[in-house]
């Protein structure tokens, strides 16, 4: 019996590709049946134990998932450290509320959201607007566009701040995730496509999550991984380990300094007198759109029925 440990790079039709941490390369595996019964299955980004009768071959199986820190569902990626939240300055139009919902979920799960604004060549003003909102809110923001704009800055960020962890690009279909990743890597590995007139989705829509080892993609000094993910439409929004409504304010990072300073202890920061967050919005410190998103997510969470809430 041979045993080892590795990280899941991708899963297609129940066949997993696991990068062996002992240096045995990429191993194709199935997952042991017990995962199906336990309602949990290995996902890209998971650290797993693998076993095989002889040498690594088609009978290799994943026997255990080790220490999963977090799991993003649809697209499924485990143990993310950084999420590049990709927003288009042109088509498909960015829905800020959707972006902020994703961002607040990332904050809650300890995943660093980094904002990437694409298609600045098509609408420089919109790109500027998006950049300013998220810079003011306290995020790292990169603006990309035709001709390789922003690529060097993004590479620098990956080397310095995301080189040894797991990162992924996420955003609506057709925003340009695969295009940005291709520009970052030395090899053009990802298919990209025009945005379909009819559906507004990308035509070469990325179908599955795949982790790429950075050291093979032009970042020799990095030991981490970067993933492309299938884009979401405004409707099939990301499922995530959601939080309680009381935790919502702290998942807006630019609110944090003000929490506990409102007139009322139980301030919801929606419309109360003496609310320091509302004051900061009025003073132009907190971006108006972020507070709009906060209000929308708040009322959505408020309406959620008890049985829809996670324990
Ligand atoms: N003008 C311009 N077009 C861009 C830019 N980035 C991407 N595009 C185009 O937008 C279309 C969609 O890009 P993709 O990279 O396939 O988008 P995606 O986010 O990977 O889409 P999905 O895989 O469907 O989620 C392609 O036609 C790209 O050439 C940009 O910065 N400027
Ligand atoms: Mg894609
Ligand atoms: Zn308040």
Domain extent listing, the chain: 2-68, 77-228, 245-308
Q: Is 179 in the pocket of ligand 1 (CB under 6 A)?
A: yes
The residues with which 228 forms a beta bridge, in sequence order, are 210
Gap from CA of 83 to ligand 3 centroid (Å): 29
The residues with which 65 forms a beta bridge, in sequence order, are 48
What is the C-alpha to C-alpha distance for residues 287 and 92, in angstroms, rounded to an integer?
A: 22
Fold classification of 77-228 (topology level): Rossmann fold (3.40.50)
Reduced 3-state DSSP string for 296-309: HHHHHHHHCCHHHC
Q: Which pair of structure tokens corresponds to residue 46?
A: 């998971």
Residues with CB in 5 Å of ion ligand 3: 262, 267, 269, 275, 277
Neighbours of 16 (CB within 10 A): 25
Reduced 3-state DSSP string for 219-247: CCCCCCEEEECCCECCCCCCECCCCCHHH
Does the global pTM surpass 0.85? yes
Which residue's CA lies nearest to atom 32 of ligand 1? 119
Instruction: Considering every ligand atom shown, identify the ligand nearest to the alpha carbon of residue 201 and give its number.
Output: 1
Q: Is 182 in the pocket of ligand 1 (CB under 6 A)?
A: no
Residue 87: the pLDDT is 97
Q: Is 201 in the pocket of ligand 1 (CB under 6 A)?
A: yes
| Dihedral sign from CA coordinates of 132, 173, 200, 301 | negative
Q: Is 177 in the pocket of ligand 1 (CB under 6 A)?
A: yes
Gap from CA of 228 to ligand 1 centroid (Å): 13
Q: Is 163 in the pocket of ligand 1 (CB under 6 A)?
A: no
Q: Are 48 and 66 in contact (CB under 8 A)?
A: yes
Q: Are 275 and 262 in contact (CB under 8 A)?
A: yes
Reduced 3-state DSSP string for 127-175: HHHHHHHHHHCCCCEEECECCCECHHHHHHHHHHHCCCCEEEEECECCC
Q: Are 172 and 200 in contact (CB under 8 A)?
A: no
Homologous superfamily of 2-68: Nucleic acid-binding proteins (2.40.50.140)
DSSP H or E run through 199: none
Mean pLDDT by 10 residues, the chain (311 residues): 93 92 90 77 94 78 92 84 96 93 90 97 98 98 94 97 95 91 78 55 65 92 91 53 86 98 97 98 98 94 68 45
Residues with CB in 5 Å of ion ligand 2: 178, 206
Report which ligand 1 atom has the smallest distance to the Cα of 86. 19
Q: Are 226 and 154 in contact (CB under 8 A)?
A: no
> Residues 6 or more apart from 173 whose CB is under 8 A from it?
92, 200, 201, 202, 205, 230, 231, 232, 233
The residues with which 142 forms a beta bridge, in sequence order, are 116
Report which ligand 1 atom has the smallest distance to the Cα of 230. 25
Considering the domain 245-308, what is its CATH architecture? Orthogonal Bundle (1.10)
Q: Is 76 in the pocket of ligand 1 (CB under 6 A)?
A: no
What is the C-alpha to C-alpha distance for residues 233 and 302, in angstroms, rounded to an integer?
A: 24
Q: Is 204 in the pocket of ligand 1 (CB under 6 A)?
A: yes
Instruction: Considering every ligand atom shown, identify the ligand nearest to the alpha carbon of residue 275 and give its number.
Output: 3
Q: Work out the burial of residue 99: count CB atoms within 10 Å of its CB; fewer than 13 is exposed, 13-18 middle, 19 or more buried.
A: buried
């Amino acid at each position: 019996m041979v045993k080892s440990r590795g990280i899941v790079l991708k899963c297609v039709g129940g066949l997993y590709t696991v990068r062996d941490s002992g240096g045995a390369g990429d191993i194709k595996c199935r997952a042991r049946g017990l995962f199906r019964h336990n309602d949990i299955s290995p996902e890209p980004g998971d650290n797993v134990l693998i076993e095989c009768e002889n040498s690594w071959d088609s009978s290799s199986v994943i026997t255990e998932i080790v220490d999963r820190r977090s799991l993003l569902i649809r697209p499924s990626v485990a143990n993310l450290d950084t999420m590049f939240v990709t927003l288009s300055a042109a088509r498909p139009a960015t829905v800020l509320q959707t972006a902020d919902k994703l961002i607040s979920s990332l904050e809650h799960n300890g995943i660093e959201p980094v904002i990437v604004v694409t298609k600045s060549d098509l609408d420089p003003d919109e790109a500027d607007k998006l950049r300013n909102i998220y810079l003011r809110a306290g995020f790292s923001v990169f603006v990309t566009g035709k001709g390789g704009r922003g690529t060097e800055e993004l590479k620098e960020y990956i080397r310095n701040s995301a080189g040894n962890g797991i990162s992924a690009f996420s955003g609506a279909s057709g925003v340009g995730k695969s295009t940005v990743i291709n520009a970052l890597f030395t090899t053009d590995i990802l298919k990209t496509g025009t945005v379909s007139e009819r559906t507004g989705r990308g035509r070469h829509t990325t179908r599955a999550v795949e982790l790429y080892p950075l050291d093979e993609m032009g970042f020799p000094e990095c030991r981490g991984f970067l993933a492309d993910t299938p884009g979401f439409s405004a409707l099939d929004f990301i499922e995530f380990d959601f939080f309680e409504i009381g935790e919502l304010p702290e998942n807006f990072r630019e609110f944090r300094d003000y929490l506990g300073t409102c007139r009322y202890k139980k301030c919801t920061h929606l419309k109360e007198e003496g609310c320091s967050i509302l004051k900061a919005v009025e003073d132009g410190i907190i971006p108006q759109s972020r507070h709009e998103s906060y209000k929308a997510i708040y009322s959505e969470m408020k309406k959620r029925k008890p049985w829809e809430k996670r324990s």
